[in-house]
Amino acid sequence: MVARIQRIQWRAIMQGVAIVYGVTFVSGLLLAFNGITPQTNHVAFPLLALLTGAVGVAIALRVAETTRLSYLVALGLGVWLLSSTSVLLGAQSVTAWLDSSLFIATTVILGRLLLGKDLEPLPTSTLSRSPIISKSSSTIPAHRGMRSTL
């Protein structure tokens, strides 16, 4: 069997980046409303941010139905580039943004590990099995007084 090289679908990547960023943003708001901030919880906040980001990555991978390395790299790069808006808004320094690449890479890897098994689809036969099933079920005799369940 010849493996085809699949092209990167940029629309799926942009959708994945939006999902990851949206889940992370909403969870950050929920954490802030509950009083969990980086200033008050030095250990819990980064761990919760890592976990919610990983859940966002897992959701994005489920929606895209792939776990290809190229998709994971593009997803992480997209989230990292989108987070550069915090530098433009003055909420983060360039050095801190560059350092966040390690955190984002860890989030993407953890999100992939949350899925467990591989999502790559298995090749399926082009032949329909319905004629085979209907042909074989017609030769199975039914018992007297009972209908066939096939």
What tens digit of pLDDT does each residue of 42-85 get? 899 999 999 999 999 999 999 988 888 889 999 999 999 999 99
Domain with 16, as residue range(s), is: 10-115
Enter the pTM of the model. Answer: 0.72
**pLDDT surpassing 90 at residue 107:** yes
Element (H, E) at 125: none
In-domain check, residue 145: no
Distance, CA of 116 to chain centre: 11
In-domain check, residue 20: yes
Domain count, the chain: 1
- Residues 112, 106: Cα–Cα separation, whole Å: 10
In-domain check, residue 19: yes
| The predicted structure's pLDDT at residue 116 | 79
138 or 92, which is more confident: 92
